Amino acid sequence: MTADLVLDVQGLAVEYGTDRPARAVDDISFRLHRGEILGVAGESGSGKSTLMTAVSRLDRPPARVVSGSVRYHPRDGAPVDLLSAPPGQLRELRWDRLAVVFQSAMTALNPVMRVGAQFVDVLRTHQRMNRKEAWKRAAELLELVGIPGDRARNYPHEFSGGMRQRAAIALALACDPEIIVMDEPTTAVDVVMQRQILAQLQELQARFGFAIVFITHDLALLVELADRIMIMYSGRVVETGTASALYRAPQHPYTLGLRDSSPTLRGPRREVRAIGGSAPDLWDLPAGCAFHPRCPQRTAGCDTTRPPLLVRDGHGTACLLAQPAAARPATTPNGTEEGA
């Protein structure tokens, strides 16, 4: 599996604004393998969408990628850094290799174009189909997600929210891509529809073998869907690991809080507790670990030392509690500070 790397992101950092920039994505690295589902979870404002637009080169001012690389590894040939690829090459890779599904599928379809036509133009661009073939293919793709093929002639406003969401997913499949980046593709629909869409997504993924970066704030949902999960807080990765390990035994207090704050449909019943406080202002991040003001387990040093992401056996955690004892500043066991 490790040989089949398809996307390799290293040290990616994105800022908003120029005179007093805010770092919405800070030094993020991850690898995506063929056929893998990587989940990205975090509260609202943690930088998930910013990460996704930067990776797919869809960032617009005032967002600015300040460092890092996003390497796409084709099946044959040398890797391509998407961040420095010339526009022509990038255009060829887009949708053919890397497709996206937006957070707001409601507004992602052009309101004045028939839904099918929005499949047809991309099919004609990348697959060199003629008009008739492309319309036929558009109908097939819609049927793949359970929408009758003749609805391709409808306009987006004639679709329900769930249909639009599924159409957006079908659209992403159009050119049989290797990677699909999905930004909360199911937030706008009810839970039943959400389950249905995810089940379809899993079947499609098993059938076509594309890799997915799946962004959501719903950790419980990711656990069922993803192979690996990455937890973001204030633009940084605080924990990463396999879905089961991360959910069963979270190492970072934030992951623990996130897990316990979302109800699950399956698994044992747990008490639902919200994380106290709110996400910090990007322009005014606390010193040390950004989570420490809200952390129930904070110890001395949390407000001064920013813990690096330490990876052991494929599980990474950025928390002083999880660092080897030697690396940790001396504290009393129960976390209270010794009097001066």
Partner 1 sequence: MGGVTLSPAVPEAAARSRTSRSAVRQIWGSVLLKRIVFYLVAAWAAATLNFLLPRMMPGDPASAILLKMSELGPVTPDRVQLVHRLFGGAASEPLWRQYFSYLGGLLHGDFGLSLAFYPTPVSTVVRSGFLWSVLLLGVSTVIAFVVGTALGALAGRRPGGWLDSVISPLSIFVHALPYFWAALILVYVFAFRLDWFPLSGGAGPDLAPGFDPAFISSAITHAMLPAATIVLTSISGWLIHMRNMMASVVNEDYVLLARAKGLSETRVTTAYAARNAVLPSISSFAVSIGLVVGGSLLTEMVFNYPGLGSLLNQAILNLDYPLMQALFLVISMTVLVANFVMDCLYVLLDPRTREAAS
Per partner kind, with CB cut-offs from 5 to 8 A, the member of ligand ATP, partner 1, Mg ion, none near residue 46 is ligand ATP
Per partner kind, with CB cut-offs from 5 to 8 A, the member of partner 1, Mg ion, ligand ATP, none near residue 276 is none
Determine if 216 is a binding residue for Mg ion (CB under 5 A): no
Q: Output the CA torsion 150→156→162→168 (10° steps).
A: 90
Report how many residues bind ligand ATP under the rule CB under 6 A: 14
Pattern 216-255, ligand ATP, x by CB under 6 A: -x--------------------------------------
Identify which of residues 133 and 224 has a Cβ nearer to partner 1 in the complex: 224
Q: 77-116: which residues touch ligand ATP (CB under 6 A)?
A: 103
Determine if 49 is a binding residue for Mg ion (CB under 5 A): yes
Identify which of residues 103 and 240 has a Cβ nearer to ligand ATP in the complex: 103
Distance CA(168)–CA(159), nearest Å, equals 11
Per partner kind, with CB cut-offs from 5 to 8 A, the member of Mg ion, partner 1, ligand ATP, none near residue 16 is ligand ATP
Which tokens sit at 274? Answer: 């919200």
Among 12, 15, 41, 49, binds ligand ATP (CB under 6 A): 49
Q: Of 219, 229, 253, whose CA–CA distance to 322 is shortest?
A: 253
DSSP string for residues in 238-274: EEEEEHHHHHHS--SHHHHHHHHTS--SSSS-----P
Buried b / exposed e along 265-299 (16+ C-beta atoms within 10 A): eeeeeeeeeebeeebbebeebbebbbbbebbeebb
Among 9, 12, 16, 147, binds ligand ATP (CB under 6 A): 16
Can you state the angle between helices 191-208 and 161-173, rounded to 10 degrees?
Answer: 10
Binding site for ligand ATP (CB under 6 A): 16, 24, 42, 44-50, 62, 103, 217, 282
